[in-house]
Amino acid sequence: MLDIGLSIVSLARFQFAMTTVFHFFFVPFSIGMAVLVATMETLYAVKKDKVYLDMAKFWGKIFLLSFAVGIVTGIIQEFQFGMNWSEYSRFMGDVFGAPLAIEALLAFFIESVFIGIWMFTWDRFKPGLHALMIWMTAIGTMLSAIWILAANSFMQHPTGFKINNTTGRIQLTDFGAVITNPQLWRVFPHVILAAIMTAGCVIAGMSAWGLLRKKKDENHFFKVSLRFGLWVSLIFAILSAGAGDLQTQQIIKDQPMKFAATEGIYKDTKDPAPWTVVEAIDAKNHTASSQVEIPKVLSILAYHRLSGSVKGMNSINKELHAKYDKKFGKDMNYYTPPKTLFWSFRVMTGIDLLVMLIAFLGVIWSRKKKDTIENKKWFMVIVGLAIWVPFIGNSAGWFITEFGRYPWIVYGLFTIADAVSPTSTVGTLLFSNIVYFLLFTLLGGVMIWYSRQTLHHGPYYEMEDSKQNVDPFAKEAFVK
């Protein structure tokens, strides 16, 4: 090991976190965009209003690039299982392989086939039938999410397995239990609803920038897109908050240490429990101070009633030692990173509330009877800047999910330290970290540049190109 103060485990964790966060920028976005583009095209098929067709084509370009970048980052992420986490792959392969194989063979197959048909057949099918192609793509993206989350939910709450005493590895005994894992059916709605909210914010934000350019021929297009994005952002921010509450109920049951850390509670609370808005956390000495609290709110959030105390991290730590000391030893640290979880939860929920507020004001100010939103330039700039907000919120939510599982990579069964590849070195991890960082920077830059260029050209730029709808396999496509 190089003597630079870095360990193999910390570098491997950093690399996985970097890859996952970047991958998670694009996957929820592309899922949400697929659903919204499908909705736009369906509105065109039903209402016969051409603006919805123009919207499906314009926002479809952004969806296609996010889909492509999501695939590239997903492939890089899968490389890491063999590169840095081979012990994890050996331990979990029997369970992890089945959902990932189904995801690749079924869900990704549906996505790939129908996205190709959708891209090249704008004038070949009736509007309703063509809209079906993008709906099939959207369904494929959501099926992909189910299988990926099924694997992750097993890591959060293992079900339907046994430990092979000979090999020491997990064996799948009940595939149905993996699919019906309660963690899966709490996290899946939360992810999908947040994904659609993310896409709504991007459409609203880019439309706001489009309107600020004041091009008369684009005004109606971006106005309709803005209202569409604002309504989507408002509705799905509310639904996402509701789904998050359902997921929290399951976390309290399955991973009480994660929940206590998100609330920064070391000692058991009084009854009823107050909700801490902010506090200073001393993770080393397991204490918290300078709390700003709202009485009874944590009891409402945790139990949906005005009474009930919440167990603190100190009590939960004792229970985990009593349960796992024989297997993992008395020196195991069961405290999850409290500062990361505490502030990630507040960032995630704060962003959801911010999106609700911005979208609500936007819907009010852009209503047909009293449309004044274009006169409020300051608000249009806020809507434009809010493009980035849901991506931060999604990442904060993913931090809670993954950091809250510490010290295990498979909850209660396998630790993070045991999962790292024995062949990994500090040198190789440093090199691959730098390469991945540069690659992600390049991909992110391309995504931002292309999106900016698409917005700069406007919705009718390529529609004037006579070759836009040429079948790539027709003879006209080869004529120069």
pLDDT of 225 reads: 97
Distance (Å, rounded) from C-alpha 231 to C-alpha 360? Answer: 8
Residue type, 180: T
| DSSP annotation string for 157-181 | S--SEEE-TTT--EEE--HHHHHT-
Q: Sign (positive/negative) of CA torsion 304, 308, 314, 320?
A: negative
Q: Which residue has the tokens 């869900």?
A: 107
Look at residues 33, 369, 44, 27 and name the one whose alpha carbon lies nearest to residue 204.
Answer: 33
Q: How many other CB atoms sit within 10 Å of the CB of residue 175?
A: 14
Distance (Å, rounded) from C-alpha 339 to C-alpha 141? Answer: 33
Distance (Å, rounded) from C-alpha 36 to C-alpha 440? Answer: 26
Domain chopping of the chain, boundaries: 8-268+311-455
Q: Which residue has the tokens 């789904």?
A: 243
pLDDT of 2 reads: 46
Interval 69-93 mean pLDDT: 84
Distance (Å, rounded) from C-alpha 166 to C-alpha 176? Answer: 25
**Average pLDDT of every residue of the chain:** 90
Give the model's confidence band at 474: pLDDT under 50 very low, under 70 low, under 90 confident, else very high: low
Give the model's confidence band at 99: pLDDT under 50 very low, under 70 low, under 90 confident, else very high: confident
Residue 367 φ/ψ, nearest 5 degrees:
-65, 150
* Contacts with 86 (C-beta within 8 Å, 6 or more apart), sequence order: 421, 422, 423
Distance (Å, rounded) from C-alpha 338 to C-alpha 275? Answer: 16
Interval 166-191 mean pLDDT: 93
pLDDT of 79 reads: 79
Task: Report CA-CA distances (Å) from 305 to 22, 127, 181, 259, 277.
Answer: 38, 50, 26, 17, 19
Give the model's confidence band at 153: pLDDT under 50 very low, under 70 low, under 90 confident, else very high: very high
pLDDT at position 58 over 80:
yes
For 196-210, how does the pLDDT look when each residue is reduced to its tens digit (9 = 90+)? 999 999 999 999 999
